[in-house]
Amino acid sequence: MIVIYTSPSCSSCRKVKQWFDEQKIDYVEKNIFVATLKEAELKDILMKSENGTDDIISSRSKIIKESGIDIDSMTIKQLIEFIRKNPSILKRPIIVDDRKIQVGYNSEDIRAFIPHARRIAMWECMKGNCPKFDYCDHALDSKGE
């Protein structure tokens, strides 16, 4: 299952949700300001991020700047608790599935979330061997149009 961590005022979050809707890919949206993130969710995000906190935490965050907090000196437990109390320090959107994570909206990278079987079908479609799929722009109807 794909989970998208969002905030209401985030334009990139809206783009990501629109892309998933257009692709007809199911996802669960979690507004980071409405529901407190669970410890397990944050551990999962941290484990999947290539560069650890650099990938998911905004160093430009007002809370980090004003408090002088050194994220790198925190234990995992302290970091998770800090994020849970201050979700605004997270970059957004954060897209997570069972294997990968993407932070922010990137029109090329987001395609990695298209299910493998659909990518194969789309590839065949682009080669002209296209069954009719509602998500495929290249699909021909039964008349070949």
pLDDT at 143: 38
Q: What is the pTM of this model?
A: 0.81
pLDDT at 131: 60
pLDDT at 114: 87
Which stretch of DSSP H or E encloses residue 80?
helix 76-85
Q: What is the pLDDT of residues 99-111, one digit of tens each?
A: 999 999 999 999 9
Pull the structure tokens for residue 6.
């969002």
Check if 13 is active-site: no
Q: What is the pLDDT of residues 14-69, one digit of tens each?
A: 999 999 999 999 999 999 999 899 999 999 999 999 998 999 999 888 998 888 88
Among residues 10, 125, 130, 136, the one annotated as catalytic is 10
- In angstroms, the Cα distances linking 120 to 14, 71, 114, 130 are 27, 42, 10, 11
Domains of the chain: 3-113 (3.40.30.10), 115-145 (no CATH)
Which carries the bigger pLDDT value, residue 81 or residue 130? 81
